[in-house]
Structure 1
Amino acid sequence: MARVYLDTSFFSTCVSKRTSPRSVGWRETSNEWWETQATRHVLYVSDEVVAELSDPDFDQGPTALAMLRGLHLLELNADVRGLAAILVREKLMPVPSVSGDAIHVAAATIHGMEYILTWNVRHLANPNKRTHLATVCLRLGLIPPQIVTPDLLMEADE
């Protein structure tokens, strides 16, 4: 069973009401992954996911938050915050380093996740960032997780 960190975009996509073809496709894929693949892995989130899904401007927040029940919670400790600051300084992640994408990647890396599951293809599941992320992490003695979209992890599981 792989250790998988689920970022906010996974949950928000599962409960999205958007009707564009891409949004509908991502929602269907996310829900299929949740229903058929989630039990094949050990799933983790962080307080950053909880905070982002708790945003009062996110109408589907309560539904998304309900999906977190029973998942493991990663601690956002000093090591996580330190790595997040490095990822921002190295221009791998957007500012601020105290929240958002940098925290997701740092938490998953520090806590030894094998995968980050995300639909954030701009900042996270971006193939152009893989080598740079690996270089920075390896320089620090860390192994970065593979950052993938649900459809890719579903294919890997088959």
Structure 2
Amino acid sequence: MKSRVYIESTIFSYLAARPSRDPIIKAHQVITRQWWDTQRKYFKFVISEQVLREIEAGDRAAARRRIELTVGMPVLDVNDEVMALARRLVLKRIVPATFMGDATHIAAATVYGAAYLVTWNCRHIANAELRTAIDRLCRNGGYSPCIICTPEELIVDE
């Protein structure tokens, strides 16, 4: 059985964007494209309503490219249970209140039992400093926390 992987909106942004001039962003784009092309077959990718809200914003052409990448992926509801966990992440100051969307990604992946949450958001989501607090809060709420990582950390050798 394939592991469920929650794909956060930054992944679609890197996949759909024009090549960046910034060397770090450009490297992330290349890594993301290689990961997407080689690793998709090993996992069951899912997104949430929060992902859709985020990738639909901005330039219409870019939004269309991002949305096309999600075709066929199950969309997880951002329900009361997800929002309750997201609010706890904010109340405990693990995620800043101004970044409720980031807390919602963590909560959706956790509530729906994703094995992994893949993101390039290393400030509020894939942040090693926050990891213990996120895991503890999830476990205290009766959830099994997902592994939060970047694409370059989730590799199945072929």
Q: Compute the TM-score of the two structures, normalised by the length of structure 2.
A: 0.93
- How many angstroms apart in 2 are the aligned matches of 1:35 and 1:57? 25
Q: Which runs of 5+ in 2 are unaligned?
A: none
Q: CA deviation at 1:122?
A: 0.7
**Superposition pairs for residues 42-57 of structure 1, below 5 Å?**
42-57=44-59
Pair 1:150-2:157 in alignment:
no
Large movers: runs of 4+ above 4 Å: none
Q: How many residue pairs get matched?
A: 155
- How many angstroms apart in 2 are the aligned matches of 1:56 and 1:31? 21
Q: CA deviation at 1:57?
A: 4.4
Cα RMSD between the aligned structures? 1.3
Deviation readout 1:67-100 (Å, 9 max, x if unpaired): 0001111111110010000000011112247x41
Query: SS in structure 2 opposite 1:60?
Result: helix
**Superposition pairs for residues 21-100 of structure 1, below 5 Å?**
21-57=23-59, 60-96=62-98, 99-100=100-101
- How many angstroms apart in 2 are the aligned matches of 1:100 and 1:80? 11
User: Match of 1:124?
Assistant: 125
- How many angstroms apart in 1 are the aligned matches of 2:101 and 2:40? 23
- How many angstroms apart in 1 are the aligned matches of 2:44 and 2:58? 29
User: Match of 1:3?
Assistant: 4
Q: CA deviation at 1:140?
A: 1.0
* Paired-residue identity, %: 32
Q: Which runs of 5+ in 1 are unaligned?
A: none
Q: Compute the TM-score of the two structures, normalised by the length of structure 1.
A: 0.93
